């Protein structure tokens, strides 16, 4: 069997689904359950990462400091992971996370803008921290382009690099081709993070492992933006059945998933109509609430908003573009009606 390391961003990516409102008790309870299951890395933070709590993308229920200290105290075996998007977070936020005992620090950048990660990766290595880099919206680049940019992040100091299928756009063959290209170009562990907009997240994660990924992300009950992420308690036994060893206790993993369903979320995510459109359009799943809010106010079909955002190749952090698109579609609709 081949070893695969599971990275669990339930307490970070799942925040998108509840508008970043997880409180300290919820964070502690899930972290304890994940630790008991032997999940190797438990990631915590605002949905958009360190330093991102804001009016633009949503205020978190608790501060970064409280999130980090709460989860660190709850973990006895699992390592603690954090995520940061340059522009939202800074080196000061990374330094703070290190002081709270963060073990794995990920820098996320748009898939063709890896130069934005250089300073932060170099800082992490200078601090002796475990530095990873993930290329977001990876469907917007070819396998060769992803491989080129992944290799650059390794030069900057990344000790693992991989891709996020941020819009849930990929099919398994797409994933295998891209992961294979990155594995051939970067002599470090390769990461895959899937979203479930087209119902393919588990299949895509297995395809990633077959392509050479050795770090796979998954969230309890798929807790995450839009249709959710790869469902962790399904992913682990499927990987085990196909020859990949995770070292996770299945029963305790299922217990952690039960806790997540009852204590973290109003309901498990589903592959709904808008999530399907988001995946087809290739638009970041975290835009869902913003699109719904703006479209409802303007009387615009949110499906049209997603396809227009996809045409414009909108990326995470461009939430302001949603307002512009809704306004233009509203004006266009009024012109047609008149």
Which residues carry out catalysis?
Answer: 16
Angle between helices 232-241 and 250-263 (to 10 degrees): 160
State how far the Cα of 224 lies from the Cα of 174, in Å rounded to an integer.
22
122: left (phi over 0), alpha (psi -120 to 50) or beta: alpha
How far apart CA 128 and CA 112 sit, in angstroms, is: 26
CB atoms within 10 A of CB 79: 18
Q: In 10 A of CB 311, how many CB atoms? A: 12
> What whole-number distance in Å separates Cα of residue 78 and Cα of residue 80?
7
- 74: burial class by Cβ within 10 Å (0-12, 13-18, 19+)? buried
The bridge status of strand 41-44 relative to strand 104-110 is: unpaired
Q: What is the DSSP string of 204-236?
A: HHHHHHHHT--EEE-BGGG-SSTT-B-BHHHHH
Beta bridge partners of 7: 41, 217
- Angle, to 10 degrees, between the axis of helix 143-156 and the axis of helix 172-185? 40
Whole-number Å distance between alpha carbons of 226 and 316: 13
Taking CA atoms, 72 is separated from 15, 190, 280, in Å, by 18, 25, 38
- The answer to whether the CB of 12 falls within 8 A of the CB of 47 is yes
């Amino acid at each position: 069997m081949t070893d695969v390391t599971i990275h669990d961003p339930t307490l970070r990516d799942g925040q998108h689904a509840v508008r970043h409102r997880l409180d300290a008790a919820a964070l502690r309870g899930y972290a304890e359950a994940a630790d008991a299951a032997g999940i190797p890395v438990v990631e915590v933070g605002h949905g958009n990462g360190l330093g991102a709590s804001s009016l633009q993308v949503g205020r978190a229920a608790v501060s970064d400091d409280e999130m980090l200290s709460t989860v660190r105290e709850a973990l006895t075996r699992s390592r603690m992971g954090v995520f940061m998007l340059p522009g939202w977070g800074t080196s000061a936020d990374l330094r703070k996370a290190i002081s709270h005992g963060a073990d794995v620090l990920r820098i996320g950048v748009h898939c063709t803008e890896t130069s934005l990660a250089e300073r932060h990766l170099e800082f992490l290595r200078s601090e002796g921290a475990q530095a990873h880099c993930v290329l977001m919206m990876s469907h917007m680049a070819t396998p060769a382009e992803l491989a080129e940019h992944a290799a650059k992040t390794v030069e900057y100091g990344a000790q693992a690099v991989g891709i996020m299928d941020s819009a849930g756009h990929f099919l398994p063959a797409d994933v295998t081709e891209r992961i294979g290209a990155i594995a051939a170009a970067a002599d470090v562990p390769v990461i895959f993070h899937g979203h479930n907009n087209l119902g393919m997240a588990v299949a895509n994660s297995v395809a990633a492992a077959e392509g050479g990924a050795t770090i796979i992300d998954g969230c309890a009950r798929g807790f995450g933006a839009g249709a959710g992420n790869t469902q962790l308690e399904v992913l682990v036994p499927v990987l085990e059945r196909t020859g990949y060893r995770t070292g996770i206790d299945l029963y305790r993993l299922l217990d952690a998933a039960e806790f997540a369903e009852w204590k973290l979320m109003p309901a498990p995510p589903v592959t709904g109509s808008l999530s399907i459109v988001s995946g087809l359009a290739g638009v970041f799943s975290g835009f869902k609430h913003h699109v719904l809010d703006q479209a409802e106010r303007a009387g615009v079909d949110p499906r049209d908003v997603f396809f227009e955002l996809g045409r414009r190749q909108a990326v995470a952090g461009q939430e302001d573009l949603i307002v512009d698109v809704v306004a233009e579609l509203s004006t266009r609709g009024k012109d047609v009606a008149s």
